[in-house]
Amino acid sequence: MTELVATTPGLFPLPDWAKDRLSDLKGHQKGDLISGDESAEIVEAYDDARAEVIGDQRAAGLDRIVEGQLRWDDMLAHPLAVHENVETGGIVRYYDNNNFYRDPRVTGELDFSGDVAAELEAAAALLGDGTSAASSDGSDDFGATGTLQAVLPGPYSLSDLATDEYYGDEAEFLGAVADFLAGEVESFPEHETLFLLEPSLVENPPGGDLDARASEAVDAVAAATDADVVVHTYWGALEEKVYAHLMDADVEAIGFDLVAGDRDQSLYNVNEYGTKDEVALGLADGQNTLVESPETIRERVEWTLDQVPATEFDRAYVTTNTETFYLPVNRHKEKLAALAEAASVTEVEA
Amino acid sequence: MSRNPENREQFRPADHPHEHFLLTTVVGSYPKPKWLNRAGDLAEDPDSKFTEAHLREAHDDACRVITHEHERAGLDTVVDGEMRRNEMVEFFAHRIEGYEFNGPVKVWGHNYFDKPSVADAVEYDEPWLVDEFEFTAGVASKPVKVPITGPYTLANWSFNEAYDSEEELAYDLADLVNTEVERLVEAGARYVQIDEPALATTPDDHAIVGECLERIVADVPEEVRIGLHVCYGDYSRIYPELNDFPIDEFDVELCNGGYEQVDVFTEPAFEPDLALGVVDAHTAEVEPVEEIKGNILWGLEIVPPEKLTVSPDCGLKLLPREIAYGKMENMVKAAREVEAALDAGEIDLEKSPATAD
């Protein structure tokens, strides 16, 4: 029997009122984006928005609740973009999307920041006190009570998105990014799950001996928490060699993009090299407004589990394949509800 | 293969002072007068007495002003500055059956875009640009160019809920663009520019763009000039393939990149006319005439003068209005001075690989 857990990879769209309020407060240019020392008014707007998206997730009935990363103007590059030893350079394309972030140029030692931990503390406080997190439709009937899930870029992706002007060596830089993330994780409040997003393992696979190092870097971050760690990959299937190395990392689950990805390649990897006891299944499209019905998501779960006959997973995280900031807010919320309902019969026969 | 670039002669003004003719034009968008943005806000405000009819009048006034501003700058072909358009995908999606809107999505930082969804098969309903063209042609004394967002970009910058592939959606949209171009031609349009900025981000799809263009130009008479505008890309990924596109003119931004990519287009020979960006749309300083003349000469590395059009890199809408005007004015002056120098034989074309054959 496989337990189904409804969740997301975080990085949500800002509520529309917050898009307006924050663009008025912050402006539209490069220098106006989040730097980590926002004014009280900006902090308050994000606090309100955070409370709303946590309320929305509880109202939808998700099993894991993310903070939403609404401050992450630079998407996955955020933890570096706000670091004091990082300068933000030009606007660069975010993977293959029509989205852009500021190139984080690392100019000094990546020591402790605490920026993400502070966000998670705020989220944990809201989760501890259900009355303060009201969903955008005013509902306070939270039926299910989800637990906190932290989300970070995986070390390989974060180093891939950044420019190193300090460490001078690719492997050393990757190790420094991993140590930095591990230090951040150590300061997190209690969380049940940690999602490490690693799209770069697909989009720009590490070559040479870097694929083994990418896996060691994941290990270093995962070792910093007692929570279940999910390394989530998307925008395609992992190359065989990258997958084989990733299996060496001591994490609870690997996540697969089963929407945009080459499903056959992912299933080949799993059946050829085995997998972890848990799995994350990216089955709803985080980049398309077409909302999958709970039945469709459920069928996809069962189909996928059927394709891995040798393994009965203890747990399957049911999620969108990608972050959902690509979506308009109404569709994003409909997707959350569909994921929660699809996983609501919490166990399936594989 | 390219169409009939000779159709450029129809845009030579009767009183053109030189034997050589470098067609001067713009890509399309232009800074909106501040009062027009204010008028737009008022029309949306339910408490205001400002109505949609008032807004239409404001749009007409703005189109008249900007069209005349283009003429005052001396351009050979003019645009209304896209005063009626809010954004290059949204504007068309509002006019095409099958599209719906769900709300803004992030592009970067706090810059958002009302990215539409294709929820059903796309169909042609009302004309998109015929009224706009007829109005502008009515107030202009120069020929009017009509920019249209291309089908590949309309598909690529939308959510696709209804089609099995983006390619199929792009082809259906191309058929609609063809219908619109035919109507514009019936209304008298002789210069149409298809804008495909999305090609720059996914250059491997050049064959899809080529097939879209085939559909767009089907049954469009040869005297109608068809341009294709692409910007901010790695052109080695679409050249020489673009020589096979059925277009008269390829409009490209190279000024912003310091003409580093000129070599890309020199081998094999460039087939359509070249509309070269000679002023930067992303710097808020007006380039001096001498500098722009130097930029124009880069174009002669690629094509001979009779195949060269000059234009800003891209739409000018993000610039302060007086800077946008200054760029156009200096661009025209520079073009006329280069023409005079060509007439006088002062520019050595023999050095240029473009005329070596």
Q: What is the pLDDT of residue A131?
A: 47
Residue A101 near residue A77 (C-beta atoms within 8 A): yes
User: Please, which residues bridge with residue A319 across strands?
Assistant: A282
Bond preceding residue B240 cis, omega within 30 of 0: yes
User: Please, which residues bridge with residue B193 across strands?
Assistant: B147, B227
Quick one: B105 exposed, middle or buried, by C-beta within 10 A (0-12, 13-18, 19+)?
buried
- Does residue B326 belong to any structural domain of this protein? yes
The H helix count followed by the E strand count for chain A is: 12, 12
Instruction: Tell me which chain A residues have a C-beta less than 8 angstroms from the C-beta of B205.
Output: none
Where in the sequence is the domain holding B252, given as residue range(s)?
5-88+128-355
Residue B269 near residue B354 (C-beta atoms within 8 A): yes
Q: What is the pLDDT of residue A143?
A: 47
Find, among B88, B89, B84, the residue nearest to B67 by Cα: B84
Q: How far apart are CA B30 and CA B319, in angstroms?
A: 8
Instruction: Tell me which chain B residues have a C-beta less than 8 angstroms from the C-beta of A28.
Output: 109-111
Q: Which of A96, A98, A330 sits opposite B103 (nearest CB)?
A: A330
Report the C-alpha dihedral over residues A157, A162, A164, A169, rounded to 10 degrees: 20
Quickly list DSSP for B330-350. Answer: HHHHHHHHHHHHHHTT-S-GG
- Does residue B96 belong to any structural domain of this protein? no
Strand order in the sheet with B116-124: B96-101, B116-124, B159-160
Mark yes or no for CB contact A328/B104 under 8 Å.
Answer: yes
Mark yes or no for CB contact A91/B160 under 8 Å.
Answer: no
Which two three-digit tokens encode residue B223?
Answer: 């005297």
Find, among A279, A155, A323, the residue nearest to A224 by Cα: A155
Question: From B163, which residue of chain A is nearest by alpha-carbon distance?
Answer: A290
Domain of residue A150, CATH code: 3.20.20.210
Note the Cα A245 to chain centre separation in Å.
21
Q: How many residues does chain A have?
A: 350
Instruction: Tell me which chain B residues have a C-beta less than 8 angstroms from the C-beta of A90.
Output: none
Q: Which of A23, A290, A330 sits opposite B161 (nearest CB)?
A: A290
Q: What is the pLDDT of residue B226?
A: 97
Residue B204 near residue B237 (C-beta atoms within 8 A): yes
Question: From A94, which residue of chain B is nearest by alpha-carbon distance?
Answer: B108
Mark yes or no for CB contact A325/B102 under 8 Å.
Answer: no
Give the model confidence (pLDDT) of A261-296 as tens digits: 789 999 999 999 999 999 999 999 999 999 999 999
SS3 B290: helix
Q: What is the pLDDT of residue A142?
A: 47
Give the model confidence (pLDDT) of A234-253 as tens digits: 999 999 999 999 999 999 99
Mutation pick from A21, A74, A103, A289 vs chain B, by most beta carbons of B within 10 Å, is A289
SS3 B190: coil
Q: How far apart are CA B11 and CA B7, in angstroms?
A: 8
How, if at all, do strands B96-101 and B116-124 pair? antiparallel
Question: From A326, which residue of chain B is nearest by alpha-carbon distance?
Answer: B105
Q: How many CB atoms neighbour CB A172 within 10 A?
A: 13
Total domains present in chain A: 1
Total domains present in chain B: 1
Domain of residue B248, CATH code: 3.20.20.210
Q: For B301, how many CA atoms within 13 A lie in the half-sphere containing its CB?
A: 16
Question: From B101, which residue of chain A is nearest by alpha-carbon distance?
Answer: A328
Note the Cα B254 to chain centre separation in Å.
15
Low-confidence ranges of chain B (pLDDT < 50): 353-357
Q: Which of A27, A290, A325 sits opposite B106 (nearest CB)?
A: A325
Sequence-distant (6+) residues with CB within 8 A of B324 are: B30, B31, B316, B317
Mark yes or no for CB contact A96/B201 under 8 Å.
Answer: yes
C-alpha angle B84/B88/B94, rounded to 5°? 70
Find, among B318, B186, B338, the residue nearest to B256 by Cα: B318
Q: How far apart are CA A53 and CA A72, in angstroms?
A: 14
- Does residue B330 belong to any structural domain of this protein? yes
Mark yes or no for CB contact B104/A98 under 8 Å.
Answer: no
Mark yes or no for CB contact B105/A328 under 8 Å.
Answer: yes
Residues of A with CB under 8 A from a CB of B: 13-14, 16, 19, 22-23, 26-30, 32-33, 73, 91, 93, 96, 98-101, 287-290, 325-331
Instruction: Tell me which chain A residues have a C-beta less than 8 angstroms from the C-beta of B154.
Output: none
Residues of B with CB under 8 A from a CB of A: 102-112, 115, 117, 156-157, 159-161, 198, 201-202
Question: From A20, which residue of chain B is nearest by alpha-carbon distance?
Answer: B110
In Å, how far is A65's CA from the nearest CA of chain B?
A: 22
Q: How far apart are CA B269 and CA B355, in angstroms?
A: 10
Q: Can you tell me which residue has the tokens 């490209």?
A: B252
Count Cβ–Cβ pairs < 8 Å, chain A vs chain B. Answer: 66
SS3 A162: coil
Mutation pick from B108, B114, B158 vs chain A, by most beta carbons of A within 10 Å, is B108
Kind plus residue range of the DSSP H or E element containing B226? strand B225-230
SS3 per-residue string spanning A45-97: HHHHHHHHHHHHHHHHCCCEEECCCCCCCCHHHHHHHCCCCEEEEEEEECCCC
Instruction: Tell me which chain A residues have a C-beta less than 8 angstroms from the C-beta of B159.
Output: 287-290
Sequence-distant (6+) residues with CB within 8 A of A163 are: A89, A103, A104, A105, A106
In Å, how far is B202's CA from the nearest CA of chain A?
A: 8
Instruction: Tell me which chain B residues have a C-beta less than 8 angstroms from the C-beta of A326.
Output: 105-106
Q: How far apart are CA A202 and CA A299, in angstroms?
A: 26
SS3 B356: coil
Sequence-distant (6+) residues with CB within 8 A of B351 are: none
Instruction: Tell me which chain B residues have a C-beta less than 8 angstroms from the C-beta of A29.
Output: 109
Residue A245 near residue A216 (C-beta atoms within 8 A): no
Where in the sequence is the domain holding A62, given as residue range(s)?
2-348
What's the sign of the alpha-carbon dihedral B228, B234, B238, B240?
Answer: positive
Full-model pTM: 0.89
Residue A236 near residue A202 (C-beta atoms within 8 A): yes
Q: Which of B110, B117, B201 sits opposite A98 (nearest CB)?
A: B201
Mark yes or no for CB contact B159/A290 under 8 Å.
Answer: yes
Q: How far apart are CA B25 and CA A63, in angstroms?
A: 58
In Å, how far is B105's CA from the nearest CA of chain A?
A: 5
In Å, how far is A349's CA from the nearest CA of chain B?
A: 31
Low-confidence ranges of chain A (pLDDT < 50): 131-132, 141-143
Residue A199 near residue A157 (C-beta atoms within 8 A): yes
Q: Which of B104, B107, B156 sits opposite A16 (nearest CB)?
A: B104
Note the Cα B187 to chain centre separation in Å.
19
Mark yes or no for CB contact B110/A289 under 8 Å.
Answer: no
SS3 B118: strand
Mark yes or no for CB contact B103/A98 under 8 Å.
Answer: no
Which two three-digit tokens encode residue B64?
Answer: 């008249």
